Structure formats: C-alpha cells, structure tokens
Structure 1
Amino acid sequence: MNAFELLVDDMRNVLGPSSGLDSNDVDVQDLTHLMERYASNPEEWARYYWPDDKMAYTRNLVDEGNGKANLVSSITGRGKSDTLAQTLTPASAQLVLVWSPGQASHIHDHGNAHCLMKILKGNLTETRYGFPDGDKEKPMEMTSERVLKDNSVAYMADDLGLHSMSNQTSDFVVSLHLYTPPNVARHGCHIFNPRTGEKTHTKCGNYSEYGRKL
C-alpha cells in the first residue's frame, strides 16, 4: 500500500460509522491534518489520472468510504462543458478531479455537505461568492479569491458561501476531494449564473471509478 492509498484508508477510518464532518465524533482538523501530511506523488495516484481536454474537468472515484462521505479526484481540461453525465457518484466516495487548462467549474453550492480538498498537482484558483439576494436578477458578488498551490488543503461548505474553481494554468491540475455527507452525489447541486444569480439544479457523474474509465 503506497502513501496515497494509506491516506484514503486513513480518511475512511477517521470518518468510521459517523454521519460526516458535522458529527460530534468527527473533527475536521483530524481530516485536514491527514491531507496536509500527505506529500503528493503522481506515481501513487496515476490510476485515477484521467485527463480529457474536451471537458472542463473529470471526476474520478477513488473510494466509497463509509457510505456517508465521497472522496473524488478531479482533472481539469480545455473542454467547454463541466457536465459529467456518464453515471451518478455512489453514495459515499473520495474523488480525484482532473482540471483542464484554462477551464473552470460553474459557480456552485455543496448541497449542505462539507468539502475538504487537497491539490495534488499544480495550482487552482478558488473564487468565492455570496448567495444571491432573493429573486432579484443581478450579477453575483465575489467575496474573495485565492490561489491554492501544490499540496495545499482547503475547506468549503455552504455556510461559507458559493465558489468556483478554475485552472488558470497551461497544464492539467489534479485535486483530491472528500465530500461528506455525499448529498451532491445522491441528489446533485445547484449552479449559478454569474450575470443574473439564477440557480439551476444539476446532477454530477463520474468519468472513471476505481481506476477504470466508464
């Protein structure tokens, strides 16, 4: 078992039978420290590296966890669309996302779930927004922006607002995501029009599962 596999295993064990990061028996700092201690090695997560420059990013299932958390790896590409419709993510998982150069996610919420993310390769820009003000149509208000670099760890939840992740570099970027509880995997999330604030419900699907393309 390599260090990446140990990280995935340790994350699953910390969550155990709990209902996720909001449970009294789970400390978000424990999970954060596990991610921070892992020094990313591309050889260790290569089987989850599925770039596709026709898509903004790919979602690659690593582990189903305890049935209540999702770990996903993501890769971002040059494609126009970040809609992944091949299949729904299982009820709990860790995922690797592979982000295409020059591409971004929609502004989105997290379905009342918690998200921990570690950058495995490259830099991602996180742009945060406030929730739209009622039914008024107006541009989304940006509240902050930061660049997450190699091996950095970040936390996001709906009580912190909305965000968009973008790869503003010329190479693919890879990130590891833990979602708990797996509300987005089960029910999808909302994406927001940056010009009007209008929200639309969308489903999320996987590009690969356990190292195999779907």
Structure 2
Amino acid sequence: MKLDELIEELHILFDKEKVNIDAVKQTMESYKSNFDDWEKYAHFSPHRYTRNLVDRGNGKFNLILLCWSEGQASGIHDHSNSHCFMKIMEGQLKETLYSWPQNNDVEESLNVQECNYFKKDEVAYICDQIGLHRVENESHSNVAASLHLYSPPFDFACSFDERTGKAFQCPVTFYSEGGEIVKRK
C-alpha cells in the first residue's frame, strides 16, 4: 500500500456516519512506512518539531506528518475532544500519559499514568477520555517522524504545566501544507 492508497482508504472509512476506531487503527497499521511516499511532507526544523498537513480528509479528519529532530518534544496536551492516531514513520517516540488535573483551583503536579515507546510502523491511539500526553524523540542522534490522524480536526488545544496542572489554550498551526512551507506574516 502506498501513502495515497492509505489516504483513499481513510476517506472511505470516514465517509460513513459512524467511524470504527479499530478499523482506522488497522488501516493505519496496514500501511508500511516508505520514505519515498512521504518525503515531500518531511520538513524538519532545528528549533522545534514541525506539523506538516498531508490531507484535510473532507473536513472529517486531518492527516499530519510530525517531524521530530533530535531531542524534540511536544508539551503536555489534550486533543480537544478528538480521536488521535499516531503511526511511527521513522525512528522511535516516547509517549508519556498523564491523568487530568483533579482540581482546577489547586496547583498540583500532573500524575504520570505510564510511558510507552513506539517504533517504526507501530500505531498508538489516544483521546481525552484516556488522558493527556507528551510525545518526544529522546534520541540525540536520530530524527523521527510520525503520521497523526485527528478526527474531528481542531484549531486549538490546551497545553498543561506539568508542575502546576494549569492549562492554557494555544492555536494549532501547520509548518507546511501539501508539502509547501507555509509563509508566515
């Protein structure tokens, strides 16, 4: 299966009224990462990980290639009531799962639920009912890339301070769209 075929299969799955989470995960697992398929979306930055839009999924999902240079990590974040599938395309990523803050009026460290490691061609799933998470490339010598599917798409997410549990809303932006770097004003 090529990346274009994966995208076509995802469009078919998301054309239904109800989407089967297991079917989406299995479909993403069935695609074996091939750099030639996704090279045009692979834009890395030495400053922070990049979010590169691959496909808008007819408004029902966003398919995004995240490119992680050595040692880069996301903040601890939610998924704005969306489903999130993460397929490792290259390298290995660590996912740290956190419990939601118990009381918004009290500053309290976030509790780690578990840490998971995912390598090439493995698929992870998270939604807000599972908890919050941080994703990171712990390698200091290798880059990593992951293909994320978010359904429904969202423009804002909340990031959380690990020490206080306090949340702040931040916009979700793209470094590139369709392989072309987005020009910022």
TM-score (norm 2): 0.94
1:189 maps onto 2:157 in alignment:
yes
Question: Which amino acid counterpart does residue 146 of structure 2 have in structure 1?
Answer: S
Q: How does 1:107-186 map to 2 (within 5 A)?
A: 107-134=76-103, 135-169=105-139, 170-182=141-153, 184-185=154-155
Instruction: Quote the offset at 1:17 in angstroms.
Output: 5.3
**Equivalent residue letter for 2:169:** H
Letter in 1 for 2:8: D
Distance 2:142 2:46 in 1: 10
1:17–1:66: 8 Å Cα contact kept in structure 2? Answer: no
- Give 1:65's aligned amino acid: G
For 2:151 and 2:166, the matched residues in 1 are separated by: 26
CA distance in 2 between partners of 1:111 and 1:180 (Å)? 10
Q: Aligned Cα RMSD in Å?
A: 1.1
What TM-score do the two structures reach when normalised by structure 1? 0.82
1:20-62 CA distance string (max 9 Å, x none): xxxxx3111111111111111101100000011112x101011
Alignment gaps of 5+ in structure 1: 19-24, 71-93
In the alignment, the residues of structure 1 paired with residue 172 and residue 160 of structure 2 have an alpha-carbon distance, to the nearest angstrom, of 15
SS in 1 for 2:36: coil
Match of 1:67 in 2: 59
SS at match of 2:64: strand
Distance 2:13 2:101 in 1: 35
* Residue of structure 2 aligned with 1:43, choices 11, 36, 44: 36
**Pairing 1:200–2:168 present:** yes
Identity across aligned pairs (percent)? 39
- Equivalent position SS for 2:10: helix
- The aligned counterpart of 1:210 is 178
8 A contact 1:111–1:189 mirrored in 2: yes
Q: Where do 5+ consecutive residues of structure 2 fail to align?
A: none
CA-CA distance at 1:66 after TM superposition: 2.0
Number of equivalent positions: 180
CA distance in 2 between partners of 1:45 and 1:152 (Å): 16
